[in-house]
């Protein structure tokens, strides 16, 4: 489901793009990243790195290169007090998990209209401005 407008991309989609676990999802993830001018958060970078180290056995040098590349190529939303408070409010309003609320808060802070996530409710509209889209949803 390639897009042309900026979007925020959640962890698992990045992981599919960087690994060969599922070639169909890898193709979708890579196309989405190439066409959506994605935003990412420091949290997503952390989650991607820890999973690539544990599951895909990426060496530390490759992790360092990946971090450099992500910061060079994409807009990274960093954690701060405003984001943490926004996440707290989102947990209350939408019954999100702690980690998902941080992702949603970062997506809202990036001012995109779409959050691409395999792990959250497909079609959920947050604050009437941010839609959660599962790019693998049939």
pLDDT at 5: 80
Tokens representing 112 are: 């995109």
What pLDDT does residue 4 have? 63
Task: Render pLDDT for 79-130 as a digit per residue (tens, 0 to 9).
Answer: 999 999 999 999 999 999 999 999 999 999 999 999 999 999 999 999 999 9
Domains of the chain: 11-133 (3.40.50.1010)
pLDDT of residue 22: 86
State the average pLDDT for the chain: 94
Whether the predicted pLDDT of 2 surpasses 50: no
Judged by phi (left if over 0) then psi (alpha if -120 to 50, else beta), residue 127 lies in left
Alpha carbon of residue 44 to chain centroid = 6
- pTM equals 0.93
What residues contact 38, with CB distance under 8 A and at least 6 apart? 6, 7, 8, 9, 32, 74, 116
CA distances, 48 to each of 9, 82, 126 (Å): 11, 23, 24
């Amino acid at each position: 489901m390639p897009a042309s407008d900026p979007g925020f991309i959640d962890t698992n989609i990045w992981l599919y793009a960087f690994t060969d676990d599922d070639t169909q999802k890898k193709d979708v993830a890579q196309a989405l990243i190439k066409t959506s001018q994605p935003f990412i958060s420091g949290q997503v970078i952390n989650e991607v790195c820890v999973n690539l180290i544990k599951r895909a056995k990426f060496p530390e040098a490759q992790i360092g290169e990946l971090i450099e590349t992500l910061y060079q190529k994409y807009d990274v939303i960093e954690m701060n007090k405003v984001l943490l408070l926004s996440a707290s409010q989102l947990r209350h309003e939408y019954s999100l998990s702690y980690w998902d609320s941080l992702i949603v808060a970062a997506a809202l802070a990036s001012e995109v209209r779409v959050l691409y996530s395999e792990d959250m409710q497909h079609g959920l509209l947050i604050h009437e401005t941010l839609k959660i889209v599962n790019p693998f949803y049939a």
